[in-house]
Amino acid sequence: MFEELCIVGTIIEFRSGHPCAKAIVRSIGRKEVVLGNLIDGVSQRIDRTTLEDTYRAAGLRFLAESHDLGQLTFIELPEAEQFETNRRYKYIKKLREREVVKVTKKNASAIIQEVANELGEKVPHWQTVRGWYANFTESENKLRGLFPKHRFKGCRQPKIHPKVIEIIRLSAARYYRTDQRSMATIFRSVEERVMEHNMNNPDLPLSAPTFRTVSLRVLDILHEKKQKARNGTNSFNAEMSTDSGVTTNRILERVEIDHTQLDIHVLDDERKTLIGRPHITALVDHYSHMVVGLQLSFEYPSYASVSMACLNAFLPKQEYLEFVGCESPWPAHGIPSLIVTDNGSEFWGKNFGAVAEELGSVFQYCPVRRPNYKSRVERFFGMVNSFVLDDLPGVVRKAGKHGDGYVAAHEAKLTFTELRRYLVSWITGVHHNTPIVGSPMTPNELWHESEECFPVPEEDEMDITPILMATDTRDLRRDGIHIHSTVYRSDILKDLYRRMGKVSVRIKYNPFDLGYILVLDELNKVFVKAESRDFAQLSGVSLYENKKIRSRAASESKSKLENPDLRRARVSLHKDREEAHSRNYRRKRQVTTSKAARSDQIGIPKINPKFDGTRVLVDSDIGEEDGDLPLDGWSND
């Protein structure tokens, strides 16, 4: 009996009040049981044998086995039971008015007859009324003593054969596997096992249970075990995790970053052809729930998209708001103390680690498959899908959530610029001015209140930009620096070569503009700018597009990648993109051209700072040699 009652979720009442009055069973091990005090929730461990001995000595009881009504009040009873309670009370009330202390047939029959006539019902037996009266008196004259106890009626023993129960139990093991077999399959398995038994035991045949009987018994286990067995432990942990449990006391103390592909198709701004679904990278402040910065483009999740989102987050937003066409204020800016990321490859490259060192921020990686550690940014993405995209044309619906004829790509009407303006306007005008769940304050109010106590200094774009650019090391040669299959040169580089000769130097480059690079002069701790020998061909060309150009040139069986070949390849790719858009424009059902949109750098702001060697780096460690750094994190191709 103890084994059947002592399961996770049942409540135990200790008669002595030790170790507590009432506790809920939290977990059960082989040697001990973990209980949770119902008053304060504190966990307590009790030896399983000791708990069982206490139960057998009547020192505790399980509320699930008691036949009382616990803490139910009259108002919590079903309507039918409330009516029955009132009916019984009318007999008790009349008996008390006539000063009947002990109910007998002689002194109570006439009164019972009178009440039954008033109610217009069959007269109850006087002994039944005597039982009601006794229960009412024992409950200290409270209505609780008259509550019906229909729920405790009936046979508590199973009505099916124990062998059938065993067959269902064995078959249920097949249901609780990650391959998620259907209940119908389990039911057929039970039927077949019963048939097999009857064939082997003709003298002791068993009746096959119904589908409902099998289903109820198979599903009659703990929800935790059910979810872990069917969906896996990680899935159940994610279900139980509501928040990271982290608390913050000011803005920029903890900022969470992540990216996702938006569930909406958009059109090209000029050609009005379908280009597909953009990606968004967002940074959300944990304390204020404010979106600190974002990047919306067709660049795949990479260090490049992360760096552009960080640049947007760290700097003031006035110029960006004017560029987007949004009039609402966006006060968020500044470098966070802690940046929380997932375990994507774009966050594990050496480039990202170098950024952490130079910014002075700490980067924290979430445990694998624990999205609740970035609850703010995950919730923000959910709100974007629910409140922003759901009512827009071209939104992508999940399977089974739309009609047979619905194709999201064919319903697209918004251009990329229109979607970006709409999204930024919603963030700054609605999201930042909506009270946070469980708080009367909005993200804007929390930000301004915290900024009064912890002022946030404005960062200089010319200081932040080189930090967020990709980092690499190359040899300084007499003719310049060789990288990206081209040579970068300038008169200042010649001066550096005269001083140092052939040495390894640290460089930074913008993956969306290979027309120039920045070279670190370690002696003077300044960056000097060098332009590509092929500046006319590479200015404004991204690393992604440059790889495509060279791949096309190589596919045309060119023995040497000379400039004329590169120009022809670039012109050929340009014609391909124009032809793709042209075909899309003519066809009734358009297809996405996301790669062409990525080549056109849709959504990528242009950055071309004028570095003249006057910006001195204050980080004394930036001159340390790291050896050759791979070009990782900038492209997923």
Average pLDDT of span 212-224: 88
Cα–Cα distances (Å) from 527 to 251, 367, 542, in that order, read 32, 37, 21
Residue showing tokens 């004394």: 620
Cα–Cα distances (Å) from 457 to 333, 335, 523, in that order, read 8, 9, 29
What's the pLDDT band for 609 if we cut at 50, 70, 90? low
Reading the block at residue 329, the tokens are 């204020």
With a CB cutoff of 8 Å and minimum separation 6, the contacts of 68 are none
Does pLDDT of 624 surpass 50?
A: no
Residue 223, H or E segment: helix 223-231
Provide the residue ranges of all domains of the chain, joining segments of one domain with +: 2-62, 74-152, 162-240, 255-453, 469-599
Phi, psi of 435 (to 5 degrees): -55, 140
* Highest mean pLDDT: which range of 74-83, 88-97, 558-567: 88-97
Residue 443, H or E segment: helix 443-453
Asked if residues 286 and 253 have their Cβ atoms less than 8 Å apart, the reply is: yes
Q: What is the pLDDT of residue 350?
A: 65
Cα–Cα distances (Å) from 436 to 16, 256, 422, 430, in that order, read 45, 17, 21, 12
Does pLDDT of 354 surpass 90?
A: no
Q: What is the pLDDT of residue 68?
A: 59
Indicate yes or no: pTM above 0.75: no
Per-residue pLDDT of 141-170, as tens digits, reads: 888 788 887 766 766 677 889 999 999 999
DSSP 23: E
Q: What is the pLDDT of residue 138?
A: 85
Q: What is the pLDDT of residue 130?
A: 92
For the chain, what is the mean pLDDT?
Answer: 83
Q: What is the pLDDT of residue 331?
A: 95
Cα–Cα distances (Å) from 327 to 242, 318, 392, 458, in that order, read 35, 9, 21, 21
Burial of 31 (0-12, 13-18, 19+ CB in 10 A): exposed
CB atoms < 10 A from the CB of 600, how many? 19
Per-residue pLDDT of 500-531, as tens digits, reads: 999 999 898 888 888 999 998 888 888 889 99
Asked if residues 265 and 592 have their Cβ atoms less than 8 Å apart, the reply is: yes
Percent of the chain with pLDDT over 70: 85
What's the pLDDT band for 483 if we cut at 50, 70, 90? very high
What's the pLDDT band for 266 if we cut at 50, 70, 90? very high
The CATH number of domain 255-453 is 3.30.420.10? yes
Per-residue pLDDT of 378-388, as tens digits, reads: 899 999 988 99
> Is the C-alpha dihedral spanning 17, 44, 23, 52 positive or negative?
negative
Q: What is the pLDDT of residue 467?
A: 82
> Is the C-alpha dihedral spanning 236, 239, 245, 250 positive or negative?
positive
Average pLDDT of span 77-100: 88
Average pLDDT of span 415-435: 95
Asked if residues 283 and 309 have their Cβ atoms less than 8 Å apart, the reply is: yes
Of the options 2.30.30, 2.60.40, 2.30.240, 1.20.120, the CATH number for the domain spanning 2-62: 2.30.30
Burial annotation 403-437 (CB, 10 A radius, 16+ → b, else e): eeeeebeeebebbbbebbbbbbbbbbeebbeeeee
Amino acid (one-letter) located at 552 = R
